[in-house]
Amino acid sequence: MSEAEEQIEWARTHMPVLSGLSSELSAKKVFAECRIGICLHVEPKTAVLCSVLRAAGAEVAITGSPGTTQDGVADALRAGGIAVYGRRADGTREHQHNIDSVVGHAPGVLLDNGADLAAAVASSGTPVSGGTEETTTGANRLREELAGTVSYPVIVINDSPLKAIVENQHGVGQTIVEGFMRTTNLLIPRRRFTVVGFGWCGRGIARYLRQFGGDVVVVERDEVRALEAALEGFHVRELEHALADTRVLITVTGRPGVVRREHLDTLPDGAILANAGHFSWEIELGDLSRTPVRDGIERLDLPGEKRLYLLTRGEMLNLAGGGGNPIETMDLGLSLQALSLARVASGGEGLTVGPQPVPDDINRDVARRMLSALQTPVSSPR
């Protein structure tokens, strides 16, 4: 096997919930004659999901997000008969072309990540019977920018309490710290981090940074979440009051333009910028020039000889600068995806038009399976 195939097999071995679902969905051929269009990070865990969908009868076309595609995994999927669009080096323009290519397969069901497929389908008029959305960013777009254009049910995986607790809080929290350390080769203890956003991902990041010895400030507009952060012992400040002594700024809101160009002038020389949200739009850079420093780091030159440093082009630090969320957390999240897609493909009983939470019976089914898997020893990979 190639290195990428070995990585996929390693992931499969540590995804017992999804592996167990695979045999059940395959036996029933749940996705027979179903075309599924996917926008999801192309990496080993996603490859396992694609193989599950294929085994259950689906025709699959997939693209990733800018900066997160693992090219070896993409090649392995292509060799297995799956249509894969995009490479790791792709930027925003190439990504849109990849999205259009997936929609060109005329998928009847979507697995979306950031509502990019939903937007393309709405623009092209491609008929779709239903889909899922992975992220907060995508859910916001569906409920705001794309409101009224989605005439089919969309199950928002990010609305699941299971995903919030397991994948967002622990998965993202752990891997953003890993991505920072791997990309910068810097220590965390006593470094001042400002985390913008205290949703499930933000609180996970703040907690893990503190556990590693970081000095953490939280910026949060929602009064209830801000109070929660304060009661957990974090410094809570307005963004404008937090920047002057910030050494590392991490955005995790799912909203565009949270940190504006003029905010960057307030940061101290040498401050580091990183993003954990789905799109790189959370930090506005304006026309600042970018000079590569090392893999994953660019220097931004500001007036007055001030220098800032941007990690992984402003793309998701845990994926563009690391291995993504831990396998076990994605086992849960992708199992929610598989069962939600199966619900949509089977006619969507109990579903309504537009974005909606994961059905309670699916949440509870996956929770039972995950609890059982956590208490069962994992076998060694073949």
> What pLDDT score does 142 carry?
96
Is 189 a residue whose pLDDT tops 90? yes
Is 380 domain-assigned?
Answer: no
One domain for residues 204 and 345: no
Is 381 a member of any domain? Answer: no
Instruction: Tell me: do 123 and 110 sit in the same domain.
Output: yes
Q: Is residue 189 part of a domain?
A: yes
Asked if residue 329 and residue 188 are part of one domain, the reply reads no
Which tens digits make up the pLDDT trace of 330-351?
Answer: 999 999 999 999 999 998 888 9
Widest CA span in the chain: 66
- Domain end marker among 284, 302, 320: 320
Crossing angle of helices 71-79 and 3-13, in 10° steps, is 90
Quick check: helix, strand or coil at residue 311?
A: strand
Helix, coil or strand: residue 50:
helix
Kindly state whether residues 231 and 365 are assigned to the same domain.
no
Q: Give the pairing type, strands 83-85 and 58-63.
A: parallel
218 and 262, same domain (yes or no): yes
314 and 337 in a single domain? The answer is no
Contact 14, 327 (CB under 8 A): yes
Do 197 and 53 lie in one domain? The reply is: no
Q: Are residues 7 and 155 in the same domain?
A: yes
Give me the number of domains the chain comprises.
2
221 Cβ neighbours under 8 A, 6+ residues apart:
none
Q: CA end-to-end span of the chain, whole Å?
A: 12
Q: With the CA atoms of 170, 175, 176 and 177 taken in that order, what torsion angle do they form, in degrees rounded to the nearest 10?
A: 100
Q: Specify whether 208 is located in the same domain as 298.
A: yes
**Collapsed DSSP state (helix, strand, coil) of residue 340:** helix
Residue 286 lies in a domain: yes
Residues 143 and 184 in one domain: no
* Same domain, yes or no: 207 and 271: yes
pLDDT score recorded for residue 280: 87
Q: What is the mean pLDDT of residues 369-376?
A: 87
Strand order in the sheet with 297-302: 235-236, 215-219, 192-196, 248-251, 272-275, 306-311, 297-302, 290-294
CA dist., res. 196 & res. 275, Å (int): 9
For residue 382, being part of any structural domain is answered with: no
Residue-wise pLDDT for 218-241, tens only, equals 999 999 999 999 999 999 999 999
Supply the pLDDT for residue 107: 97
Count CA atoms within 13 Å of residue 173 on its CB side: 24
Assigned domain for 139 exists: yes
Read off the tokens for 60.
Answer: 């699959």
CATH number at residue 33: 3.40.50.1480
Residue 307's pLDDT is: 97
Each residue's pLDDT tens digit, 23-76: 999 999 999 999 999 999 999 999 999 999 999 999 999 999 888 899 999 999
Predicted local distance difference test score (pLDDT) of residue 375? 81
Q: Say which CATH number the domain at 188 has.
A: 3.40.50.720
In this structure, the answer to whether residues 268 and 309 fall within a common structural domain is yes
Closest CA to 343 of 368, 367, 360: 360
Residue 17 lies in a domain: yes
* Backbone torsions φ then ψ of 221, nearest 5 degrees: -75, -30
In a domain, residue 379? The reply is: no
Instruction: Give the domain range for residue 98.
Output: 3-159+325-374
Out of 287, 302, 320, pick the residue that ends a domain.
Answer: 320
8 φ/ψ angles, rounded to the nearest 5 degrees:
-65, -40
Q: What's the pLDDT score for residue 2?
A: 93
Of the residues 320, 335, 364, the one at which a domain ends = 320
